[in-house]
Chain A
Amino acid sequence: MELAIQYSLYIISCVCIFVPLFGFGIAPPTVIGTALSVFAGNAYSLIAQQGILKNFIKDKKDSGASGGLIPILEETQKLIDGIENPGTAMKAKSHSHGHDHAEGSHHIIPIPVYVGVLVVLLIGTAITVEVAQFDFGAMNTVIAMLVATVKASFVLAFFMHLKYDNMLNRVIFGSGFFFLMLLIAFSVADIFTRVPVLKAF
């Protein structure tokens, strides 16, 4: 199931590369760039967080293989360990069964952090309501959306534990917003070039 989900993400990424290239030809570099970064993020999370490369090396060594690509792969794994947890790269070996150790010990966010987030959200609400009393013209929408986005990020990072979650969930959720952006971009491009739009009162 996990594999199917991961491949579905690849397929979606491929589709969003080819649609603008062959279909519309509008700003393909941006779309391709984002899609490729989703690609890279997913692949990296596979290797770094789920220890696929580590397991591969271990399997090969267990079955008595040596030489060839193995030393290079081992160097790559060390490099990834260095990035993932700086300072503990040397201890990487004792972590080869990381998944078994992690059982039942998820990161628990202490209550004061939750209270802090609650306070931030309430202040954000107050700011949104207060700012709306004044007329900044088009800036009203921008300010409201900026504050809403800050509030949403706090909810996502702490209440939804995304800050301490694995990379794949972040990539999955990010892809949702990416497709929303795609929808907005094409809709805006269509409406603003075709229909007379009101710019000010």
Chain B
Amino acid sequence: MSTVKTEDGHFHHAHHFNSLSHQYDSAKQGVWLFMVTEILMFGGLFVAYLIYKSIYAPIFHVGSSYLDVKMGSINTVVLITSSFTMALGIYFNQKNKPKQAVIALALTIVCAGIFMVIKYFEYTHKIHLGLVPGKFFNNPEFQQKVVDFINNMPIENLTPTLSDTAHMKKIAPLYFGFYFVMTGLHGLHVMIGAGLILWVLIKTANGKFGAEYYTPVEGVGLFWHIVDLIWIYLFPLLYLVG
């Protein structure tokens, strides 16, 4: 990074910027543009979810009953809390309190760890039951439940696609395709985010940041909040709305 701390404790901006605040605004604008690409990337998945749910709603209904709402809720609370501690991490950097900032950032990483551990238990449970996407799917009970659900529906609500039992059995793993891709991509973001937070934590501990210059903390914070934001939508869509 081109911002350096001099002996007198002040930060100097890179030569191609007018001032520190100019540099801060430019860097932050770049992070916001990156956030737009994140929204659009997950947005594509959400649109795919919307389309397939409107065509194959029974699969999604039965599928969401296989997810553990309790684990999902705990993960939501954990992520929201981590967002809060991240905001505190930025706050304490703004207030020139590196010790408290390090504690807040460390708590954020701990929350990320808890999130991934819970995710691990959920994933291994699903894999154990054979509830995985594509050709690896091996759970006839799930397929039968989908077919039973469709058979119990009022006949006037059925579409030609849903009445085709063989097709519905074949396409039943679709829900777990969505589940693993969406939560997997999100989990990847959580891990990358935790790594980035570790990076700013080390720099904070080394006294590289202060009220004058904390741009990387702010940028990583924005990334972390986007991760939280996506989970806020992902949780009800996958776990609750069946």
User: Interface of A with B (CB < 8 Å)?
Assistant: 1-2, 5, 99-100, 102-104, 106, 108-109, 111, 114-115, 117-118, 121-122, 125, 128-129, 132, 140-141, 144-145, 147-148, 151-152, 155-156, 158-161, 165-166, 168-169, 172-173, 175-177, 179-180, 183-184, 187-188, 191-192, 195-201
Which of B77, B88, B159 touches A114 (beta carbons < 8 Å)? B88
Residues of chain B from 50 to 91 with CB closer than 8 A to chain A in the complex: 50-51, 54-58, 61, 69, 73, 76-77, 80-81, 83-84, 86-88, 91
**In contact, B236 and A132 (Cβ under 8 angstroms):** yes
The answer to whether residues A118 and B81 also contact, given A129-B69, A191-B51 and a CB cut-off of 8 A, is yes
**In contact, A155 and B228 (Cβ under 8 angstroms):** yes
Chain A CB within 8 A of B6 CB = no
Residues of chain B from 17 to 48 with CB closer than 8 A to chain A in the complex: 18-22, 24-26, 28-29, 32-33, 35-37, 39-40, 43-44, 46-47
Chain A CB within 8 A of B118 CB = no
**In contact, B25 and A160 (Cβ under 8 angstroms):** no
Which of A1, A191, A192 touches B26 (beta carbons < 8 Å)? A1
The answer to whether residues A155 and B225 also contact, given A109-B91, A118-B81, A184-B50 and a CB cut-off of 8 A, is yes
User: Interface of B with A (CB < 8 Å)?
Assistant: 18-22, 24-26, 28-29, 32-33, 35-37, 39-40, 43-44, 46-47, 50-51, 54-58, 61, 69, 73, 76-77, 80-81, 83-84, 86-88, 91, 94-95, 153-154, 157, 159-162, 211-213, 218, 221-222, 225, 228-229, 232-233, 235-237, 239-241
**Complex Cα distance A176/B229, Å?**
14
**In contact, A144 and B91 (Cβ under 8 angstroms):** no
Instruction: A109-B91, A176-B36 given; name 18 further pairs at CB < 8 Å.
Output: A2-B29, A99-B21, A100-B19, A104-B21, A104-B212, A108-B95, A132-B69, A140-B240, A151-B232, A159-B228, A166-B25, A169-B32, A172-B29, A173-B35, A173-B39, A187-B51, A196-B160, A197-B54
The answer to whether residues A169 and B28 also contact, given A197-B54, A201-B61 and a CB cut-off of 8 A, is yes
The answer to whether residues A199 and B157 also contact, given A102-B21, A155-B232, A183-B47 and a CB cut-off of 8 A, is yes
**In contact, A155 and B229 (Cβ under 8 angstroms):** yes
**Complex Cα distance A90/B61, Å?**
62
**In contact, A173 and B236 (Cβ under 8 angstroms):** no
**In contact, A201 and B57 (Cβ under 8 angstroms):** yes
Sample (10) of A-B pairs whose CB atoms are under 8 Å apart: A104-B20, A104-B213, A122-B77, A144-B236, A152-B232, A172-B29, A177-B39, A180-B39, A180-B47, A201-B154
**CB neighbours of B28 from chain A (8 A):** 165, 169
Interface centre among A147, A156, A176, A191 (most CB of B within 10 A): A176
The answer to whether residues A175 and B87 also contact, given A155-B228, A169-B28 and a CB cut-off of 8 A, is no
